[in-house]
Homo-oligomer: A and B are copies of this chain.
Amino acid sequence: MQERAIRTRNAILSAAAKVFEERGFQAATIAEILAAARVTKGALYFHFQSKEDLAEGVLREQDEQLVVPERPCKVQQLVDVVMLHAYRLQTDCMVRAGVRLTMDQHASGIDRSGPFLRWTDTCSHLLEKAQEQGETLPHVAPAETAGVLVGSFAGVQAMSQAISDYGDLMTRVVELLRHVLPSVVQSAVLTSVDLAETRGAKVFAEARSLRGEREAVTDTPRS
């Protein structure tokens, strides 16, 4: 894609995210998204065929934008994936909109299982590597543990949103990990895993600098 087309696409997705977050998927209209994106109808339909298509675009953004650096300890890498996602949920309205769409039981016509399954795959893959390296306890089934992590993260973030508008998100995510990891990870590995509440911000800075020049081309400002 040309740089300009990418910018237009990003502007449309950001606008869609904002409108979905404020109004909910069901109530949101293409007209509102057009007005917020300040693009022509033609430009929008060049990139997206429908409201459902826009929602799928927003859903995909949450897993495709940033990559956690490789770590020698795969449990740490898994923790970093979780913490980075929590940090982005607090700071990036596109990620927030994606998560809200995923949790929106009235968003019919879009595939809400997708993000759950993609996150489960990501975590499962890291747990398999952790297993190969002997970091996990012998009984662990990576896919099952990944499902538990993804499901429980989804609820912890929803609870944090309802109670504190994400003010206590990092505390709750760390508490979740401290309750689940001891059933999954060898204790000698546990002692060296960084579970600080500031971990998400740290990983975010790293991931952004890794993304390097690519960012200069494809990124538009967010918040």
Interfacial residues, chain A to chain B (CB-CB below 8 A): 23-24, 26-27, 100, 102-106, 112-113, 116-117, 144-145, 147-148, 150-163, 172, 175-176, 178-180, 182-184
Contacts and interface: CB of A to CB of B under 8 A. Distances in A.
A29 to B, nearest CB: 14
A151 B172 contact: yes
B158 A106 contact: no
Given A147-B172, A152-B151, A172-B151, A158 B158 contact: yes
Contact of A116 (B145, B162, B180): B162
Q: Which 6 A-B pairs have the closest CB atoms?
A: A155-B155, A152-B152, A154-B155, A151-B156, A24-B106, A151-B159
17 contacts: A24-B26, A24-B105, A27-B27, A104-B105, A104-B106, A113-B162, A117-B163, A147-B159, A148-B172, A148-B179, A151-B152, A151-B156, A151-B159, A151-B176, A154-B155, A154-B156, A154-B159
A148 B176 contact: yes
Question: Which residue, of A147, A150, A176, has the highest number of chain B Cβ atoms within 10 A?
Answer: A147
Given A105-B100, A178-B183, A182-B183, A152 B156 contact: yes
Given A158-B158, A180-B180, 20 more contacts: A24-B24, A24-B105, A27-B106, A103-B158, A104-B106, A105-B158, A113-B162, A116-B163, A144-B175, A150-B159, A151-B155, A151-B158, A151-B172, A152-B176, A155-B156, A179-B180, A179-B183, A180-B183, A182-B182, A183-B183
